[in-house]
């Protein structure tokens, strides 16, 4: 009898609690397999064009359920220092890479042609026809309306990626 009671207590204390896992939270956002990544200066998305770009990306993400992320280039703000950050975004399979800031946009302009599977967007003026020649590089004017213009550009990039 003591053995049976001991087994029941042991079973109750160490096992027998076979609860099924709860269903996934139905409120969790389900994302599409599409990533848009923003490369910024050291201050990140806290000011200027980077803030407007991030707002446009978030708005587009809410409409379409694409994943968006941002990465600041830390340290010296140079094209050479921005390159490893850009390469990291490409290795993460970002479908679209957006860039704000002089060093970041310069790096993207220099590297875009070598990565035809990725769409690139720079915030700044067009540069010597590079955008037309590369086919995967678009320039968006900075300033007022940037968030809306980036949302339109992302919409085009998503449609290009589907083709």
Q: What is the pTM of this model?
A: 0.76
65 vs 157, more confident:
65
- Residues 91-137: tens digit of each pLDDT: 999 999 999 999 999 999 999 999 999 999 999 876 654 444 468 99
Give the domain extent around 49. Answer: 31-162
Q: What is the CATH number of the domain that holds 43?
A: 3.40.50.2300
Q: What percent of the chain has pLDDT over 70?
A: 72
In a domain, 20, yes or no: no
Decide if 73 is inside a domain: yes
Within a domain: 103: yes
CA distances from 69 to 4, 59, 61, 79, 82 (A): 58, 13, 10, 21, 16
pLDDT in tens, 72-98: 999 999 999 999 999 999 999 999 999
Sorting pLDDT into bands at 50, 70 and 90, what band is 10? low
Do 32 and 65 contact (CB within 8 A), yes or no? Answer: yes
- Number of domains the chain is built from: 1
Which tens digits make up the pLDDT trace of 150-159?
A: 888 888 877 7
Euclidean distance between CA atoms 93 and 133, whole angstroms: 23
Mean pLDDT estimate for the chain: 82
Neighbours of 32 (CB within 10 A): 11
68 in any annotated domain: yes
For residue 15, tell me if it sits in a domain: no
- Bridge partner residues of 96 (DSSP): 36, 119
Q: Is 97 inside a domain boundary?
A: yes
In a domain, 9, yes or no: no
């Amino acid at each position: 009898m003591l053995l049976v009671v001991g087994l029941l207590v042991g079973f109750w204390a160490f096992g027998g609690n076979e609860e099924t896992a709860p269903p996934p939270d139905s409120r969790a956002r389900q994302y599409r397999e599409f990533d848009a990544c923003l490369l910024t200066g050291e201050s990140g998305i806290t000011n200027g064009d980077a803030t407007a770009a991030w707002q446009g990306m978030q708005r587009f993400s809410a409409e379409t359920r694409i994943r968006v992320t941002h990465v600041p280039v830390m340290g010296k703000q140079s094209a050479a220092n921005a390159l490893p950050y850009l390469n990291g975004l490409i290795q993460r399979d970002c479908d679209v890479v957006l860039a704000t800031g002089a060093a970041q946009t310069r790096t993207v302009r220099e590297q875009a042609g070598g990565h035809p599977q990725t769409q690139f967007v720079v915030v700044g003026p067009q540069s010597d026809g590079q955008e037309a020649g590369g086919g995967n590089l678009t320039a968006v004017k900075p300033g007022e309306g940037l968030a809306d213009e980036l949302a339109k550009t992302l919409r085009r990039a998503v449609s290009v990626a589907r083709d």
